[in-house]
Structure 1
Amino acid sequence: AKLGLIFLLCFGMLLSACSSGNNGSGSTTNGNAGNKEAETGNKPQEQVKISFMGHGSPQEKEIFMKLIKSYETKYPNVKVEYTSVPPAEYNQKLSTLVASGKTPDVFYVSGPQFYKFAEAGTIQNLQPFLETTELFQEDNVWKQALDRYRFDGTQLGQGDLYGLPKDVGPWAMAYNKTMFEEAGVELPPAEVGKWTWDNWLDAAKKLTKDDNGDGKIDIYGGANFTLEGAVWASGGDFIDYGTGKVTIDTPEFTNAMQWVADLRLKHNVTPSPEDEKALNAYSRFVAGKVGMFPMGPWDQPGFWDLPFEWDIAAWPVNPATGKAGTWVGSMGYSVSSKSKHAQEAFNLAAFLALDAEGQKQNYELGQAVPNLIDMAKG
């Protein structure tokens, strides 16, 4: 509960600071679960099967199996075939299925892949579905989450929704409390602004170890620091959104990039690309092989049974500006434009992303900060 509250507080502060397609007629069944219920009389509903593909830890897979069971209870005429793919294999697996004409009815999307699929017509325009459902109260869903899944035919961030947010949450700095205490390193403060990049680097140096004396690092002090966060905390950005000019040549940007690069190339306190390929940051933290790790809310279930104590620290601030910058991550649900049961597929995405029952269950299982603002502020 404490960690969930910390995430919600961080999330609220971050969001405060941030400040025509298929009509879905592909389904021949009623299936308006979450929509204004259609009259069915005594006519039995057609039993349909839809496919859903995602990725994540074993704990995330277990959570989604429970969520799908709740959906199937609410919509007994629908059976969901759920596939969970290892994160490192997901994009390639999905691209292969799309290319072979076997696109899942519902699947995870994010970033460049979302843009590619929206532009190519691989995914449904969900706006017609949203206009008929009582679940979608736009002013009660984080705008920053919704805007990631808008597409107007040429640009992201505006136009109709081609996806619904699976989650949206800020990264926080998790740390191995046991490792800190055994190394005699002072624990990071929870108060924002009291922990700087210099403090983070000092702790990382003290935690980095060659356990067996073979000249190779076995435990790194920190996982790779996010470049985006470092740039924003330095007062820089990747682009001037007013003019469209790329701004990666500014002193603010280059200084931040140098600081992040030095963590690996000068101080040797973060894993190399080869190290990351062998064992990613999440797996490294779970294995007790890294002291500090930028985590999202979705990582919490995988940390519940760790053999060491861990906690969350305030994100370190740039000592030159007094500002902290972190990443707000998100994944979305999209519906295949080829789905033969588009309404049922949309209903699943809507249940997971917008339905109060699904959102409450998802939060209580530790998977995500609620998409519904009133629930998140609770």
Structure 2
Amino acid sequence: MKSKSKFAGMIMLLLMFALSACSGGGSGPNGGASSNNPDSSAPSNEAAAGTDKKEPVTIEFMGHGNPNEKKIFEKLIASFEEKYPHVTVKYTSVPPGEYSQKMTTLISSGKVPDVFYVGGPEFYRFAEAGTLLNIQSYLDQTTLFKPDNVWKQAMDRYRFDGSKVGTGDLYGLPKDVGPWAFVYNKDLFDQAGVAYPSATAGEWTWDDMLEAAKKLTVDNNGDGKPEQYGVGAYSLESAVWANGGEYIDYDTGTVKVNEPAFYEAMQFVADLNLKHKVSPNQEAEQAMNAYTRFINGQLAMFAMGPWDQPAFWELPFNWDIAAWPASPNTGQTATWLGSMGFAVSAKSKHPQEAFDLAAFLSLDEQGQRENYQLGQAVPNLIDMAEGEFMEMDKGPQTRQVFLDIIQDYGRPDVIAFSKDTQWMDAFNQNASKVWNGDMSAKDFTAEIQPKMQELYDKGNK
């Protein structure tokens, strides 16, 4: 799941992210029942893969990502086809920005791939509409799945009980669980004589970060356009959650952006540029986004997910990750924990082979090992994540931060449990009033909250 052009944490990640995707049938959790449904066609045990002579099968798999991710999945698919020699996988990777529309077109034309990426609101919509195969019975019979050895935080994203996400049977498997970490350029810190951020949550606060950012912002000619910034793309979610705020209370469906804990955090993020000048403004961001600044060595502190590792391994400077700065008001830190999933089409003509591919990519030890070694993700398998993944001789050095986020202070992105996102779209589309200094965060959130509430009620209740 992963956009690089987020402005100072103000563009909701997810982005999907962002962020930050899709739907399924009116017959309940087992919608789309047919001869291919696991309730009417008992799944076979994948342990027999490669041992019996089987008829050749071709399945289609569609995902999205950058060229590096495409290369990684081509390697993983080759390993799958070696393990399951009767299966040929036709793999398509589309640009992230085109994926949602492509899936919508394929669904409407009845040409859904056998296996495809799904996450967040799209998972909710697709599961509800019957587009996704209920894979619970397949999962119950596979030897790959050991419930105590897979991150619950990831698996629960793909449960659906017929009315809400997070409980019930599984309609997908995690492609990954994506801890959004705080990354910094160690060389720039060394040159400025600034101590590194702490990898321990709560030890480094907004105040510490701001003090460091001021020392790490360099404007050699004094023209007000720094050649080097202290921090960029600061996560608004992280600031809000760390400060005790919430975008919404999903239990009651109440939008809460107009509360002090929220708007004070939003103002802090805006002031990184407006007041302190340590972060690029929108004009500077449009000229060169924060991701490019960081890899060019012109930004001291940024954000990264595990999927960024391959590119970061090639950087000509030293870097590492730290815990997101804690709010001095609460002493707490937080960040978002993304995830994208693999789903199987309810109309697949080869549901067992489609499930086998999803399970290999999500749960198979060989597949997970290749995945993390290629720098794609933190392993979904807990023992592997806590064992050999931690022993890698490549950055980040403090990779325990990834696991801390998964286990302790990572949270699903805001729209993960919302099937209609127009309420958040309204926030993001108008937040520039704060980022540009046209309105205070307090005034803006008071103005936008009723509109967000109306849109949420219309699309989700």
TM-score higher than 0.5 here? yes
1:174 to 178, 183, 192: 183
Residue of structure 2 equivalent to 1:353: 362
Which 10-residue stretch deviates more, 154-163 or 97-106?
97-106
Q: Could you tell me how far 1:318 is from its partner in structure 2?
A: 1.2
TM-score of the two chains, using structure 1 as the length reference: 0.82
Residue of structure 1 equivalent to 2:153: 144
Residue of structure 1 equivalent to 2:46: 35
Residue of structure 1 equivalent to 2:126: 117
Matching of residues 202-241 of structure 1 within 5 Å: 202-209=211-218, 216=225, 219-240=228-249
Preserved CA contact (<8 Å) 1:170 1:296: yes
Q: What is the CA–CA distance in structure 2 between the aligned matches of 1:276 and 1:337, rounded to whole Å?
A: 43
SS of alignment partner, residue 291 of structure 1: strand
SS of alignment partner, residue 369 of structure 1: coil
Change (3 A) 1:151 1:75: same
2:79 to 55, 70, 75: 70
Residue of structure 1 equivalent to 2:36: 26
Is residue 343 of structure 1 aligned with residue 352 of structure 2?
A: yes
Change (3 A) 1:209 1:53: farther
Q: Which letter maps to 1:160?
A: D
Preserved CA contact (<8 Å) 2:185 2:300: yes
Q: Could you tell me how far 1:129 is from its partner in structure 2?
A: 1.8
Q: Could you tell me how far 1:71 is from its partner in structure 2?
A: 0.5
Is residue 51 of structure 1 aligned with residue 60 of structure 2?
A: yes
Preserved CA contact (<8 Å) 1:33 1:74: no
Preserved CA contact (<8 Å) 1:23 1:125: no
Residue of structure 2 equivalent to 1:293: 302
Q: What is the CA–CA distance in structure 1 between the aligned matches of 2:161 and 2:285, rounded to whole Å?
A: 36
SS of alignment partner, residue 307 of structure 1: coil
Q: Which letter maps to 1:37?
A: A
Is residue 363 of structure 1 aligned with residue 372 of structure 2?
A: yes
Preserved CA contact (<8 Å) 1:34 1:355: no
Residue of structure 2 equivalent to 1:153: 162
Residue of structure 1 equivalent to 2:417: none
Q: Which letter maps to 2:69?
A: E
Residue of structure 2 equivalent to 1:87: 96
Q: CA RMSD in A?
A: 3.1
Preserved CA contact (<8 Å) 2:307 2:377: yes
Q: Which letter maps to 1:133?
A: T
Q: Could you tell me how far 1:332 is from its partner in structure 2?
A: 0.8
Q: Could you tell me how far 1:235 is from its partner in structure 2?
A: 2.0
Q: Could you tell me how far 1:106 is from its partner in structure 2?
A: 1.4
Q: What is the CA–CA distance in structure 1 between the aligned matches of 2:353 and 2:83, rounded to whole Å?
A: 12
Change (3 A) 1:72 1:207: same
SS of alignment partner, residue 370 of structure 1: coil
TM-score of the two chains, using structure 2 as the length reference: 0.69
Preserved CA contact (<8 Å) 2:43 2:137: no
Q: What is the CA–CA distance in structure 1 between the aligned matches of 2:106 and 2:288, rounded to whole Å?
A: 26
Residue of structure 1 equivalent to 2:207: 198
SS of alignment partner, residue 175 of structure 1: strand
Which 10-residue stretch deviates more, 189-198 or 104-113?
189-198
Q: Could you tell me how far 1:56 is from its partner in structure 2?
A: 2.7
Which 10-residue stretch deviates more, 313-322 or 259-268?
259-268
Q: What is the CA–CA distance in structure 2 between the aligned matches of 1:65 and 1:180, rounded to whole Å?
A: 38
Which 10-residue stretch deviates more, 251-260 or 214-223?
214-223
Residue of structure 2 equivalent to 1:102: 111
SS of alignment partner, residue 131 of structure 1: helix
Higher relative CO (CA 8 A, sep ≥ 6), structure 1 or 2? 1
Residue of structure 2 equivalent to 1:320: 329
Q: Could you tell me how far 1:72 is from its partner in structure 2?
A: 0.5
Q: Could you tell me how far 1:196 is from its partner in structure 2?
A: 1.3
Which 10-residue stretch deviates more, 207-216 or 135-144?
207-216
Q: What is the CA–CA distance in structure 2 between the aligned matches of 1:311 and 1:50, rounded to whole Å?
A: 40
Which 10-residue stretch deviates more, 61-70 or 32-41?
32-41
Which 10-residue stretch deviates more, 295-304 or 255-264?
255-264
Preserved CA contact (<8 Å) 1:149 1:161: yes
Q: What is the CA–CA distance in structure 1 between the aligned matches of 2:58 and 2:323, rounded to whole Å?
A: 45
Q: Which letter maps to 2:85?
A: P
Change (3 A) 1:185 1:57: farther
Q: Could you tell me how far 1:24 is from its partner in structure 2?
A: 7.7
Which 10-residue stretch deviates more, 350-359 or 332-341?
332-341
Q: What is the CA–CA distance in structure 2 between the aligned matches of 1:303 and 1:33, rounded to whole Å?
A: 41
Residue of structure 2 equivalent to 1:187: 196
| Gap regions ≥5 residues in structure 1 | 1-19
Change (3 A) 1:123 1:216: farther
Preserved CA contact (<8 Å) 1:174 1:293: yes
